[in-house]
Amino acid sequence: MSTVNEIALGDRSFEVHYDRIGEDLWRASAELIDEMHHIKTSLDIGVPDLRVRDAGIELIRTPLRSCAGICGREKRLIGTKTKDLGFKVFRLFLGRGGCANVYLLFGLSGPGFLNVYYLNKVKEGTMTQEAYDTMMKNDCIAHGKRFRGAP
């Protein structure tokens, strides 16, 4: 294992993927790779209820053996609605005994699922573009009335 002095910690790679794995199930997965870490997370999200059905953490490379202590905590996300993931992920994975890297991965993949899901519904013709636009104007700060026309 390299020492911290030998590692370029500024180079980090994050990837997020959304895959339909069943008629009523999607997987939101995220991965971090840098010289000290290779971590993967996954959330299986049921539709149309938008609840986490399963969650996983895979620690492929970590700087400390004790990092494995975070594994298992992700199961507490099961049953959480995607709109509530941000707060729950914050509480579970930041602070003492947490892992900021796992927090980032779940924070990237979970809340981002909603946009991908609804855009796919428009593409498939099960949601109109107008309904999507209305939803975004009501629910998204960037599309809201207060920000229309802002640079």
| CATH 1.10.287 matches 4-111 | no
Domain extents in the chain: 4-111
- pLDDT for 88-121, tens place per residue? 999 999 988 899 999 999 999 998 898 899 999 9
**Predicted pLDDT at 82:** 93
Residue among 128, 117, 129 at smallest CA distance from 20: 117
* pTM of the predicted model as reported, rounded to 2 decimal places: 0.84
How many angstroms separate the CA atoms of 80 and 74, rounded? 11
The single-letter DSSP state of residue 69 is G
